[in-house]
Amino acid sequence: MFNGGFEIGFLLFIAFLLFGPKKLPEIARTLGKGMAELRRASNELKHSLEEEIRNLDRLPEATSNPAPKYGDYHSESSANEPRSQS
């Protein structure tokens, strides 16, 4: 009906009664700073996760032509090397 307006008003009224008009602005300011810090940390985490996902997406492109591993050396005779006949 009021989309939460009544509930928020009721909570503000209770907070006003509990803390009084002098303490309420200080509490609201502290709450606002805490919420801003939480939002900042959340955005930082979101951006770092997105960057890691982009790095993982780039990984298969970089490994499309992998370097030979130890023991994977296959000797192929070139045209300049003489072939041994046995």
Q: What is the mean pLDDT of residues 31-51?
A: 95
Residue 43 lies in a domain: yes
pLDDT, position 8? 86
Could you tell me the residue range of the domain that residue 40 belongs to?
21-61
pLDDT at 12: 85
In a domain, 47, yes or no: yes
Confidence at residue 40, expressed as pLDDT on a 0 to 100 scale: 97
What local confidence, expressed as pLDDT, does residue 64 receive?
A: 57
- CA–CA distance from 23 to each of 8, 14, 44, 53 (Å)? 19, 13, 32, 45
> Has residue 51 got a pLDDT over 90?
yes
Residue 11 falls within a domain, yes or no?
no
pLDDT at 38: 96
The 10 Å Cβ neighbour count of residue 24 is 14
In the block, tokens 């801003």 appear at 36
Residue 52 is assigned to a structural domain of this protein: yes
**Number of folded domains in the chain?**
1
